[in-house]
Amino acid sequence: MTKIPHRLYLTEDQMPKQWYNLRADMKEQPDPIINPATMRPAVEEDLYPVFCKKLAHQEMDAQTRFVDIPEPVQEMYKIYRPSPLIRAYELERALDTPARIYYKFEGNNTSGSHKLNSAIAQAYYAKEQGLTSLTTETGAGQWGTALSEACCYFDIPLTVYMVKVSYEQKPFRKSVMHTFDANVIASPSETTEVGRRILAENPKTTGSLGCAISEAVEKAVTTKGCRYVLGSVLNQVLLHQSIIGLESQTAMEILGEYPDIIIGCAGGGSNLGGLIAPFMRDKLTGKANPRIIAVEPASCPSFTRGKYAYDFCDTGKITPMARMYTLGCGFIPSANHAGGLRYHGMSPILSKLYHDGYMEAVSVEQTSVFEAATYFAKHETILPAPESAHAIRAAIDEALKCKESGESKTILFGLTGTGYFDMTAYASYQEGHMQDYIPTDEELQKGFDSLPHIPDIQ
């Protein structure tokens, strides 16, 4: 029997030429988004003031199973893709587990994460439409960095609203974005009406992704030739990120493997949705039945403690409303170190799949996450991003269960990025200063109280 290599890279010719739209195979579709101006289901044209037209079409398209990846996007992908599928031999050995552990490593680019997969597509469509600028938000800074790279490549000015706590924790992320000519603003800020309102209500707020989204959208809709782009949650983003799962499935087929368990960290859902896409298709069509596990921070438990309800996608309540697992758009999470997972809601696609029982979810505390991250780094030599380490935590736990049962299961998890800009977090853990925070039911209720009332619906 041929030994499975530590790393498998597909060739450029083996890279997917199309993205996969998971909604085309879902037995029941996510509920339609609601236009807050009309309180009725939105149509594609309602999204044109906010999104590029082709992205608005992708957002609403639930029928097209495969979408061609534009040639210029494929060419930029080849700068850093295909990404490797790695067999975690050293981690397996350290855990003394019969499980076979694989991870798809998306950190081989300057952003250090999977976010570039969608950033390139969104910047390309903006350039194609003739737009003159873009706005976005960023939590940990990975999305802001990725979009800065893509916008620089396609020569489009970019303004990034960065969640204030991350802006202060990760100054070097700002430096990278500045390298790619982006304008970076700590959010909430005095530069927008919604930012000023949020600061007036809570001058000491550390911010949230919901706040930053509100500012970025306001900037987009009040600036000629400008549109807003988002790095997670949206259907269009999960479409672009499907390249992760498609590459993973092809690589595993080459190795003669198929995952029994697929694990991804979950904040808004972009990497998880991308990783699981073709495997979820197999599950929906009856071809296979893998366990799919979403892992989220205990401090921001959208899946495990949230409500499945319509909610605004931003704190300022200016975006359309989506039915998703949410903590309420008014929920401000603790300033933990997994900035990319501090979003109050979850992808409508993933929310529907979770609600219908096609996937599981667990929440983990950040000290346990950093314990797993450190253990992984010592054995696999990659320092993982705090977000990614949530998936590592669950993968280790599942591998230890295999050790107890003697089962040789195949585990696949997403290593979404590197943690080299997160050294203050690692230092906090190493020095014993890191604290776990789990919101009380009473604290969560404050967020639920902000859920909108929609006549005849909610």
* pLDDT block averages, 10 residues each, the chain of length 458: 88 97 97 92 94 97 98 97 98 98 96 96 98 93 94 98 89 94 96 95 87 92 96 95 98 97 95 98 98 96 97 82 93 61 87 98 96 98 95 98 98 96 91 93 92 90
Per the structure, how many domains does the chain have? 2
Q: Say what the pLDDT of residue 1 is.
A: 52
Instruction: Check whether residue 384 and residue 283 sit in a common domain.
Output: yes
Instruction: Check whether residue 295 and residue 205 sit in a common domain.
Output: no
The residue range of the domain holding 183 is: 132-224
Instruction: Check whether residue 238 and residue 258 sit in a common domain.
Output: yes
Instruction: Check whether residue 219 and residue 245 sit in a common domain.
Output: no
Short-list 110, 129, 267, 224, CA closest to 177: 110
Q: Give the total residue count for the chain.
A: 458
Cα–Cα distances in angstroms (integers) from residue 156 to residues 114, 127, 227, in the given order: 21, 7, 11
Instruction: Check whether residue 146 and residue 241 sit in a common domain.
Output: no
Of 170, 190, 224, the residue that ends a domain is 224
Instruction: Check whether residue 158 and residue 269 sit in a common domain.
Output: no
In a domain, 30, yes or no: no
Instruction: Check whether residue 328 and residue 391 sit in a common domain.
Output: yes
Distance, CA of 335 to CA of 172 (rounded, Å): 18
In a domain, 295, yes or no: yes
Distance, CA of 133 to CA of 223 (rounded, Å): 9
Say which CATH number the domain at 103 has.
3.40.50.1100
Instruction: Check whether residue 347 and residue 445 sit in a common domain.
Output: yes
Edge-to-edge strands of the sheet including 85-87?
7-8, 85-87, 100-105, 410-415, 261-265, 291-297, 360-364
Strand partners, 137: 161
In a domain, 65, yes or no: no
In a domain, 300, yes or no: yes
Instruction: Check whether residue 216 and residue 296 sit in a common domain.
Output: no
In a domain, 297, yes or no: yes
Hey, which bits of 198-320 come out as E strands? 226-228, 261-265, 291-297, 307-312
Of 171, 191, 224, the residue that ends a domain is 224
Cα–Cα distances in angstroms (integers) from residue 413 to residues 205, 274, 276, 295, 391, in the given order: 34, 12, 10, 11, 6
In a domain, 253, yes or no: yes
In a domain, 269, yes or no: yes
Instruction: Check whether residue 247 and residue 144 sit in a common domain.
Output: no
Distance, CA of 208 to CA of 232 (rounded, Å): 14
Of 202, 224, 246, the residue that ends a domain is 224
Instruction: Check whether residue 343 and residue 206 sit in a common domain.
Output: no
Residue 236 token pair: 């269009």
In a domain, 328, yes or no: yes
Secondary element (H or E) of residue 355: helix 348-355
Residue 151 token pair: 């916008």
Instruction: Check whether residue 152 and residue 292 sit in a common domain.
Output: no
